[in-house]
Amino acid sequence: MSHLILQSPNLLPADVERIAAVAGASGVQLIGPTNVRVLDVNTDSLDEVRDFCVQRRIDAACLDELVPFRSCKLLAMDMDSTLINIECIDELADAVGRKAEVSAITEASMRGEIPDFKESLRRRVALLRGAPESALHAVFDTRLALNPGAERLIEVARASGLHTVLVSGGFTYFTERLRRGLGLAEAHANTLEIVDGVLTGRVLGEIVDGQAKADLVAAAAARLGAAPDQIIVVGDGANDLRMMAHATYSVAYRAKPAVRAQARFALDYSPLDAILNWFRLAGVR
């Protein structure tokens, strides 16, 4: 029998009781004030349960079993709008008064409307030409914040022996600082060309696109000997789908509809560390 993990910042007992009844559950186990485990559910009821959860703004994950978190080997995450709260390139565009133009291209790319990410990135970076290098510092210091639950997820992953990787179509200026600050094992992103303290509007080297992200995750998995059911990949845009395909635990975080539809799990309302409740943690039931 399968179990349902229900999570929401405003999880109401009445909603949990309704879901348990619809699912024919054998019982409900409290995990915390914002999450419960509904035991031994009838999987034939899942469509009805999911529809109700969407109405009530509840994240629901169905699992045949809860395996130890330590059995996983790899946690890979996207950066912009996944690990952090912003799209860095959109904020950089403010420095040259072109945020609306850059944001429009970003949104179209994330929805999959511009299938060639490399072309999308080149077009956006070209709009940054002339921005001072100090704009990068300002964005990192004043606009960038970790999304809720990110720090705890990474701390527990590291303590549990998982290899932690940041894989981004963004920029190394940000990923390297996050890698050092969070103690991540690896970070991969694109390098902006800067000459005399000014952005040239060009990217150096090969662009990290969706395929490159997937290749980096596959390479890390191969080095670790990680099977798909030992891999967690978290993303929010169409550019993340290929790397998410390598993981049994593919997680759409505040994602676009196309991404949510293809991921096995989704967090639309709960923080990133809600992922931990899909596993058994040491000392936790």
Catalytic amino acids?
A: 78, 80
Contact 61, 8 (CB under 8 A): no
CB within 8 Å of 146: residues ≥ 6 apart:
83, 84, 85
Q: What is the DSSP string of 23-58?
A: TT-SEEEEEETTEEEEEEE-GGGHHHHHHHHHHHT-
> CB within 8 A of 278, min separation 6: which ones?
5, 61, 63, 66, 249, 265
- Distance (Å, whole) CA 279 – CA 275: 8
Q: How far apart are CA 255 and CA 261, in angstroms?
A: 9
Comparing CA positions, the residue from 196, 204, 203, 201 lying closest to residue 134 is 196
Residues 6+ apart with CB under 8 A from 136: 92, 171, 173, 174, 192
The Cα 103–Cα 120 span in angstroms is 11
Rg, Å, the chain Cα set? 20
- Pairwise CA distance, residues 135 & 137, whole Å: 5
**Joined tokens for residue 153:** 């997820």
**How far, in Å, are 83, 217, 259 from residue 245 at the CA level?**
19, 10, 11
